[in-house]
Amino acid sequence: MKNEVNRAQWAKTKYALGIDLGGTGTKFGLVNDEGKVLRWNSIPTQQYPEIDEYCDVLCDGMRRLVADEGLTMADIVGIGCGAPNANFYSGCIEQAPNLPWKGIVPFAKLISERMGVKCTITNDANAAAQGEMIYGSARGMKNFIVITLGTGVGSGIVIDGKLLYGHDGFAGELGHCKIDHSGNGRLCGCGQKGCIEAYASATGVARTAKEIVTSTTQPTLLRQVADIDHITSKDVFDAAEKGDLVAKEIFDYTGRLLGEKLADFVHFSSPEAIILFGGLTKSGHWIMDPIREALDANLMPIWKGKIPVSISVLKDSDAAILGASSLAW
């Protein structure tokens, strides 16, 4: 009888909650121990300038996911979160340039207190990397890099099967490596000028599009966008698909800059692969071709043609949620 009880306990499905906290929106989901996102929802991050109100709304949403699955919080083993400038060691979000709350936010503590379950937090790109390692393109790999291309540019680095955190929890900030050292580069959300994030994120593509469209006399479909101040990377993609040469120029410029920086990362860490994740990857070959070309052109001969760059095979809504939830196991 005792053995039967033990087998039943061992076989019982475990559940965790994963939070993908982004600069624009926050996705959160209920995940089982087989890596399936059972339910998920989202809230607009920027709509809540007060962190307490944001946490209240987020926690209410997570409780509803649990209840809708017929579970209680007693069934949840833990909560994991991926967020910009999140410190795995301290559980805090620190000076995140793309979030509405400045300073040091004790996010893990705020969520743990409200939910009655331990919350663990890490950088959003680290969460995506963990998701890729367990469930996605990096299964079986021990050395790889995940680059998130969304509102900003994030990077998760796995070396010898372990996420790289550095001594203070902030290792691997590729997005804030500079590509323009003139002092006149674009202002980044971090306060510096010339960061790759200001050029190679979805936001950066929009900035490039606005600069080029307002300065060139070349005909382009992008002039048909109703409000040039609110042009998006999706607008640029749609124009490129229709053969717009200016749109192609924008993607070539963006891909070249990012490919050059990825070459620096290869020289530093010698990864098996680089995996790209995020909204900008929906641009497909328009962004991927110049990235791969620039990467190979800037590599030492020992790595030329040997570092595959691919797009995540995980569903957009799943990768960071799965990675974040895995922190709870």
Instruction: Read off the tokens for 54.
Output: 């944001």
pLDDT tens for each residue of 273-312: 999 988 899 999 999 999 999 999 999 999 999 999 999 9
Name the CATH superfamily housing domain 139-311.
Answer: ATPase, nucleotide binding domain (3.30.420.40)
pLDDT tens for each residue of 176-187: 999 999 999 999
Which residues are within 8 A (CB) of 198 and not within 5 positions of it... i.e. 6 or more apart?
A: 185, 186, 187, 188, 189, 204, 207
Topology of the domain comprising 12-131+318-328 = Nucleotidyltransferase; domain 5 (3.30.420)
Please report which confidence band the pLDDT of residue 316 belongs to, taking 50, 70 and 90 as the band edges: low
Could you give the count of Cα atoms lying within 13 Å of 89 in the half-sphere of its Cβ? 9
**CA-based max dimension of the chain:** 82
| Rounded Cα distance, 276 and 201, in Å | 12
Statement: residue 9 has pLDDT above 50 = no
Model pTM score: 0.84
| Rounded Cα distance, 272 and 222, in Å | 38
Instruction: Read off the tokens for 293.
Output: 């070309």
pLDDT tens for each residue of 194-247: 999 999 999 999 999 999 999 999 999 999 886 888 899 999 999 999 999 999
Which part of the chain has CATH 3.30.420.40?
Answer: 12-131+318-328, 139-311
